[in-house]
Amino acid sequence: MTSLGDALSNTVARCGSATAILYDGTEHSFRDLGARAAAIACGLTERGLRVGDRVAVGLRNSPELVAAVVGVLHAGGVLVPLNPAYTEDELLYVLADSGARMALLEREHAAMVATARLPGLSLLGTSVDGCGDISRPSAPVDPAAPALVVYTSGTTGRPKGAVLAHHALLSNLTTVARAWRWTDQDRLLLTLPCFHLHGLGLGILTSWLVGSSVILRPRFVAEDVCADLARLRATMFFGVPTMYNRLLALPEAATTAHDLRHMRLWVSGSAPLPAATVERFRERFGTELHDRYGMTECGFVLATSLSGPRRAGTVGVPLPGIEVRLVDPAAADGGRLIDVPDDSDGEIAIHGPNLFSGYWNRPEDTRRAFLDGYLRSGDLARREADGLFRIIGRISVDIIKTRGFKVSAVEIEDCLQRHPAVQEVAVVGVPDADQGERVVAAITPAAGSDSTADAIRAYARQHLAPHKVPSRIVFLDDIPRIGPGKFKKKELVRLLTADVERT
């Protein structure tokens, strides 16, 4: 088995003059970006980088980011992706926790790091130069060694660095490519931020491994997406539910005016995809919106089939070579893996070559993450009669205990998302002395909507059992987020709890 660096180099040799990245009207070939990556790899080595050293990269979506990612891996470094929007505290924490030896950062972050003077860290600005040749083999790396340390979004305490080995990434990314029939003839419009596994792993690394082109944008702008897809003849678009909801919120003329017949694959991930969004997308665009499920700790695990059965609200079946079990979470807490029957809720437990190696410098957290070789996801799901999986939600934040019932926040969100006045919704349980937890929905209203909380609650009563109907609806212009497409539900609970206490 090869390293990720060698696999990326092989693509340069194979694809050469083909377009790797189209950015801001300029095409960058695999050969050109490969040469840039080789110069970065050589520059890192000349400055003392050794195989296995962590290199933090916190650049915005750009060809420079792509070259830096490939260059770090070619040099045998361990890539630590950073969010360019990190606060100073978040930035310094990840740099210190990962033990990064070198960092390529945007100017604002570089100034913060220079002031902090972290010991043992070399600050390289946004780029580094050396003399190298991408056609030469990358630094010799054990395929079982770390390739990436990706910091999780930190729903509980400080973020943890998930260590992803070369072989785990190569296995998972190539499995996804085969399942989606991804070829070098595809062209992906990528508007996701490329510091997490969705944008970086699927968007950048898989595209490079396949040899397909990426239309890279600095950020998602709903009004530009359909025009870009049509004008640049893209065949694929990857997004999060928020992006698709915003596309659907556009005037119909903004989407139907463009010829999108060459688009063969629209995929959502990183957060639960409401069935209502899938149905509205089908009505508006006349094609299917595919869903998939994964985690930083295991990559991409479940996906709707391109040709097999699929149903709105489900995330498909396990990808080839990956085993997924649904187990009793209480039994798992006691050290036993006991499968639950079909059509019952169980915790997703995952086994396969895609699993992460553990949390960086956190052996106890790593030990708790695994049981008998299976990764405990912390997510509840249900396997339906035809084998399709339906995500119920996070055990910790999406299961609300109210009036003696266990309620799925995702189920309520899926219902409310169908209301035309709702653009986005997050449902949480707010502590309540009488009910245990009170069901509360935070809603970002659709543009031009004048619907009231009472009207939305009346709609919910038509579709949900009484104990699932939100006792309170709060309208927010922006629901707190923990990452792309994911709501920061613990912060939302704190905000709503404090609001109740003030009143």
Backbone phi, psi, residue 373, to 5°: 85, -5
What one-character DSSP code corresponds to residue 339?
Answer: B
Read off the pLDDT of residues 326-347 as tens digits, 9 standing for 90 and up: 999 999 999 999 999 988 999 9
Number of independent structural domains in the chain: 3
**427 located within any domain:** yes
Give the C-alpha separation, 129 to 68, whole Å: 11
**465 located within any domain:** yes
Q: Among 392, 416, 435, give the residue marking a domain's end.
A: 392
Q: Among 166, 192, 209, give the residue marking a domain's end.
A: 166
Read off the pLDDT of residues 227-276 as tens digits, 9 standing for 90 and up: 999 999 999 999 988 899 899 999 999 998 999 999 999 999 988 888 98
Q: What is the pLDDT of residue 486?
A: 79
Give the C-alpha separation, 201 to 323, whole Å: 21
**9 located within any domain:** yes
Read off the pLDDT of residues 420-456 as tens digits, 9 standing for 90 and up: 999 999 999 998 877 778 999 999 999 888 889 999 9
Q: Among 324, 358, 392, give the residue marking a domain's end.
A: 392
| Secondary structure (DSSP) of 190-256 | E-S-TTSIIIIIIIIIIHHHHT-EEEE-SS--HHHHHHHHHHTT--EEEE-HHHHHHHHTS-HHHHH
Tell me the CATH number at 51: 3.40.50.980
Q: What is the pLDDT of residue 156?
A: 46
**410 located within any domain:** yes
Asked whether the predicted pLDDT for residue 60 surpasses 50, the reply is yes
**194 located within any domain:** no
**185 located within any domain:** no
For residues 20 and 141, membership in a common domain is answered with: yes
Q: What is the pLDDT of residue 1?
A: 67
For residues 313 and 356, membership in a common domain is answered with: yes
What range does the domain containing 331 cover? 220-392
For residues 385 and 310, membership in a common domain is answered with: yes
Q: Which of 258, 255, 288 shows the shortest CA–CA distance to 273?
A: 288
Q: Which pLDDT band holds residue 403 (cuts at 50, 70, 90)? A: confident
Read off the pLDDT of residues 269-312 as tens digits, 9 standing for 90 and up: 988 888 989 999 999 999 999 999 999 999 999 999 998 788 98
Read off the pLDDT of residues 22-53 as tens digits, 9 standing for 90 and up: 999 999 999 999 999 999 999 999 999 999 99
Q: Which of 359, 397, 353, 404 shows the shortest CA–CA distance to 378?
A: 397
Asked whether the predicted pLDDT for residue 503 surpasses 70, the reply is no
For residues 243 and 351, membership in a common domain is answered with: yes
Tell me the CATH number at 486: 3.30.300.30
**189 located within any domain:** no
What's the whole-number average pLDDT of the chain?
91
For residues 269 and 244, membership in a common domain is answered with: yes
Q: What is the pLDDT of residue 472?
A: 94
Going from the C-alpha of 269 to that of each of 225, 243, 248, 254, 362, the distances in angstroms are 17, 10, 17, 24, 27
**433 located within any domain:** yes
For residues 246 and 345, membership in a common domain is answered with: yes
For residues 227 and 271, membership in a common domain is answered with: yes
Give the C-alpha separation, 330 to 315, whole Å: 24
Q: Which pLDDT band holds residue 388 (cuts at 50, 70, 90)? A: very high
Give the C-alpha separation, 411 to 409, whole Å: 5
For residues 337 and 282, membership in a common domain is answered with: yes
Q: Mean pLDDT lowest for which of 11-25, 63-77, 81-95, 321-335?
A: 81-95
Asked whether the predicted pLDDT for residue 132 surpasses 90, the reply is no
Tell me the CATH number at 248: 3.40.50.12780
For residues 228 and 248, membership in a common domain is answered with: yes
Q: How many CA atoms lie within 13 A of 143 on its CB side?
A: 12
For residues 447 and 477, membership in a common domain is answered with: yes
Q: What is the pLDDT of residue 155?
A: 44
Q: Which of 397, 361, 20, 8 shows the shortest CA–CA distance to 184?
A: 20
For residues 423 and 494, membership in a common domain is answered with: yes
For residues 86 and 229, membership in a common domain is answered with: no
Q: Which pLDDT band holds residue 79 (cuts at 50, 70, 90)? A: very high
Read off the pLDDT of residues 343-360 as tens digits, 9 standing for 90 and up: 899 999 999 999 999 999
| Secondary structure (DSSP) of 266-305 | EEE-SS---HHHHHHHHHHHSSPPEEEEEETTTEEEEE--
